[in-house]
């Protein structure tokens, strides 16, 4: 039996304690680029890692490795943010990021983290509001990095970045101190993949590219099986593609679990038209 790209993705993300971030993220490009050679793309990254490893002295410290990785990644390889075309879906497809050397914070971070781990740095992703970050624990504490340029961010800079996202929170909830530590925890691979997919969903929904929305939703439903809203959004994609039976199944499942949700009345109004579509001869 041939393993589909969705089957392969499901096999990678099944167990929480063993999700390979880079490999799983790389598979996201298979929907938009079905001709992608998966092994070739993995080899391209491994070749970069080997090139970097060969330059490292055997006794290199963590800080030395980090400096060399930054120099290699941002200066020599010229990875950078695609500021001129930030909402291009290619910015979220890892094989395209490696090829073009352009991406957005989270996709650049996935490539950077893989290189870091291949040279012995336990770099972690940080799902910071509005701008994905990375961090490395060293003897003196934690170094927090911006994946767009490799710069190290101070506590003051991080608090300044966080402040706009807390503006809607009651002041008494946090007192005088921002809850920075809560926003700097290491992100689980499942969380990182979900953020990547939701970035793509937002892009495709904005342009009403419903087949691409459906491709993304199929993966989100696999990745987050307990998130019923993802099944709802898959149902909406099915409905917009004229796939009435599949749409009904997802939307009815959502309404059964969330009968009093804010969007429930609007979704119920869709059901008669979907049922009528099923009765029409093909």
Q: Residue 127 has what pLDDT?
A: 95
Question: For the whole model, what pTM was predicted?
Answer: 0.93
pLDDT class of 170 with cuts at 50, 70, 90: low
Flag whether pLDDT at 179 surpasses 70: yes
Q: Residue 1 has what pLDDT?
A: 57
Flag whether pLDDT at 181 surpasses 70: yes
C-beta of residue 132 within 8 angstroms of C-beta of residue 91? no
Task: Give the whole-angstrom CA distance, residue 69 versus residue 111.
Answer: 12
pLDDT class of 171 with cuts at 50, 70, 90: low
What would the pLDDT profile of 61-94 be if each residue is shown by its tens digit? 999 999 999 999 999 999 999 999 999 999 999 9
Average pLDDT over residues 199-216: 97
C-beta of residue 186 within 8 angstroms of C-beta of residue 124? yes
Average pLDDT over residues 105-118: 98
For residue 248 the two structure tokens come to 């009904």
From residue 80, how far is each of 24, 88, 98, 136, 196 by CA, in Å?
Answer: 22, 14, 11, 20, 17
Element (H, E) at 232: helix 228-240
The pLDDT mean for the chain works out to 93
Flag whether pLDDT at 197 surpasses 50: yes
Average pLDDT over residues 189-201: 98
Q: Pick from 60, 80, 198: which is nearest to 146 by CA?
A: 80
What would the pLDDT profile of 246-280 be if each residue is shown by its tens digit? 999 999 999 999 999 999 999 999 999 999 998 87
Average pLDDT over residues 178-206: 94
**Percent over 90 (pLDDT), the chain:** 86
The set of residues, in sequence order, having a beta carbon less than 8 Å from that of 182 and lying 6+ positions away, is: none
Pairing mode, if any, of strands 133-138 and 124-126?
Answer: antiparallel
């Amino acid at each position: 039996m041939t393993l589909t790209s969705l089957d392969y993705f499901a096999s990678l993300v099944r167990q929480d304690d063993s999700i390979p971030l880079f490999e799983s993220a790389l598979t996201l490009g298979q929907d938009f680029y079905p001709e992608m050679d998966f092994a070739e793309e993995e080899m391209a990254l491994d070749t970069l890692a080997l090139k970097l490893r060969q330059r490292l002295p055997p006794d290199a410290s963590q800080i030395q490795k980090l400096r060399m990785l930054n120099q290699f990644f941002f200066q020599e390889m010229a990875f950078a943010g695609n500021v001129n075309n930030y909402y291009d879906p290619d910015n979220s497809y890892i094989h395209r990021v490696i090829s073009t050397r352009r991406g957005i914070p989270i996709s650049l971070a996935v490539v950077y983290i893989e290189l870091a781990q291949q040279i012995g740095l336990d770099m972690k992703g940080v799902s910071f509001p509005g701008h994905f970050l990375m961090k490395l624990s060293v003897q003196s504490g934690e170094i927090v990095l911006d994946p767009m340029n490799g710069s190290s961010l101070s506590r003051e800079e991080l608090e300044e970045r966080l402040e706009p996202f807390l503006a809607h929170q009651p002041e008494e909830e946090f007192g005088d101190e921002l809850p920075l530590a809560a926003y700097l925890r290491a992100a689980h691979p499942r969380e990182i993949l979900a953020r990547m997919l939701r970035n793509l969903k937002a892009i495709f929904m904005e342009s009403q590219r419903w087949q691409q929305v459906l491709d993304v939703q199929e993966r989100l439903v696999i990745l987050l099986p307990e998130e019923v809203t993802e099944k709802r959004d898959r149902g909406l994609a099915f409905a917009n593609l004229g796939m009435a039976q599949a749409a009904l199944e997802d939307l009815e499942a959502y309404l059964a679990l969330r009968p009093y949700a804010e969007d429930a009345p609007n979704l119920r109004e869709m059901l008669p038209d979907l049922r009528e579509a099923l009765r029409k001869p093909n």
